[in-house]
Structure 1
């Protein structure tokens, strides 16, 4: 691979932006296509499908065979709240292929003993999330019931265009939450993106069951939305 092309590809990976590497199999020529460039590309229909699914594919254009390699960032799940649900959710999400980060300034809860092998950030969300860098390939689950922790995280996730945003709480709790967030200038359309009560409606009772419901809902949103998320964000 050409060094300039490799540098460009690594730059997109580092910025967690989706791209497609186009390789002409006979000539070996390669080029990188970004999401914003798809519409004007001669392979637009094929590229749109790769961006939509996040899956590489071989296509034939006339007598030429071209391989389209999907370069899609790994999905992340950021959880605010080192709580019992998080203890069940973190290993499940990791097994499902998510990079998991837990944010909770309460150091009595955010401990390696309770979350072995998990990326823990014992910081307030406004500090931790700025360092993490939320993006359209990140899901956020707010689980603390504490507005001082959950609200800033929700605002950050909605502003960054995270593909999934969910918050624990009853409908009454969520109604009060919406009032607080609206007072910060978020529109009704933006606030409607918050899944609350969080998780699929499967009658969950225990922390582990709630974790299953949350992960199911996160995966459903991930697979419904195209990999070309940054165009809509």
Structure 2
């Protein structure tokens, strides 16, 4: 699926229940510089209403026509389109490519009970894969992030395995930022741009305050309590920025008990060495200590809060995409 966790399956279910009809179009394969990633989705009603995108506009018209025909005859179809260089340039790409699109009419191709379960899983923020046999149209759901599609869940990568299309539906990426400091003020908008849902955690209300962070979710609980409530998983990064062991250390201890994919801690090399000694004294093992990225961020020579936030965001993305 696309990283913005759009609501195409939920919209399709709503349209179907409203008797508008719904066909879901999904990019299942690409070659070259295709406008939209594998897993991108579009829903089309019987009247030609649509939400989402499979090509950024290049082939949407043709897909809508095929989707409306699929709603009439109840038959799924696999379409292939070539996107010319001129069409690609119009949507911001340097060159064209080829895409395959699966068109699945709800209630005929796509079973209604399967779509209902998929929508419920997404609403509950559970990782789930929707599999479709492109030869015989059998479908199924597999829950992650472990199991046969563990690598795809971790890399957020839908794709074809022999004749089976595996559509990955991961919950949103999240970032828990411990400390409402200047770096956090720069990091929050960068995290949003990168597709994360940030939350700022700081019991010091003067630091974690709406005047400083606008509509960003804020918790004024102690960091370990706040993280316990958030239940960090393989889709969450945790960054500690307070530079205060009374706040950072409990947060680090709690994060190390979870499956968060990234844990980064602000501080110099000397500060980080002292931090590790404190955690060892608390009984934290070396394998867990190795999970901590400290000093936080890629070494790009960052000096001011914005540059440090850029280095943190780069390291978080590297941990997410290269793990």
Fold match (TM-score > 0.5): yes
**8 Å CA contact 2:122, 2:171 repeated in 1:** no
Are residue 22 (structure 1) and residue 131 (structure 2) matched? yes
1:168 aligns with 2:258: no
1:109 aligns with 2:207: yes
**Equivalent residue for 2:153?**
51
2:234 & 2:253 partners in 1: Cα distance? 14
- With over 3 angstroms needed to count, the CA separation of the structure-2 counterparts of 1:91 and 1:151, relative to structure 1, is same
Alignment pair present for 1:99 and 2:197: yes
Q: Which protein shows a greater Rg?
A: 2
Give the Cα separation in 2 of the matches to 1:20 and 1:13.
14
Task: Tell me, yes or no, if the aligned pair for 1:77 and 1:101 is still in contact at 8 Å.
Answer: yes
Structure number with greater CO (CA < 8 Å, separation at least 6) is: 1
> Does the alignment pair 1:3 with 2:101?
no
Q: Which runs of 5+ in 2 are unaligned?
A: 1-110
CA–CA separation in structure 1 for the residues paired with 2:270 and 2:151? 41
Q: Deviations over 1:79-124 (max 9, x none)?
A: 0000000000000110110110110000011111110121111111
Q: CA deviation at 1:161?
A: 2.2
- Distance in 2 (CA, whole Å) between partners of 1:158 and 1:59 is 34
Q: 2:184 aligns with which of 79, 86, 89?
A: 86
Gaps of at least 5 residues in structure 1 are 39-46, 226-233
Question: Does 1:136 find its partner at 2:234?
Answer: yes
| 8 Å contact kept, 2:155–2:320 | no
- Matched residues, number: 212
CA–CA separation in structure 2 for the residues paired with 1:138 and 1:94? 13
TM superposition score normalised by structure 1: 0.83
Q: CA RMSD in A?
A: 2.0
What is the TM-score when the length of structure 2 is the normalising length? 0.61
Separation in structure 2 between the aligned mates of residue 180 and residue 48 of structure 1, nearest angstrom: 34
How far off its partner does 1:49 sit?
5.4
SS of the residue aligned with 1:3? helix
> What is the deviation of 1:4?
6.2
Among 135, 157, 168, the alignment partner of 1:70 is 168
Q: Are 1:155 and 2:253 matched, yes or no?
A: yes
Instruction: State the Cα distance separating 1:29 from its structure 2 match.
Output: 2.8
Structure 1 position 37, deviation (Å): 3.4
- Cα distance change on mapping 1:12 and 1:170 into 2, 3 Å: same
**How much does 1:67 deviate?**
2.3
Distance 1:154 1:4 in 2: 39
Quick check: 1:210 aligned with 2:308? Answer: yes
More helix by share: 1
Alpha-carbon shift at residue 59 of structure 1 (Å): 4.6
Match of 1:41 in 2: none
Judged with a 3 Å threshold, the aligned counterparts in structure 2 of structure 1 residues 71 and 84 are, in CA distance, closer, same or farther, namely same
Task: Give the alignment partner of residue 216 of structure 2, picking from 104, 113, 118.
Answer: 118
Aligned to 1:32: 141
Report if the CA contact (8 A) 2:201-2:221 is conserved.
Answer: yes
Residue in 1 aligned with 2:13?
none
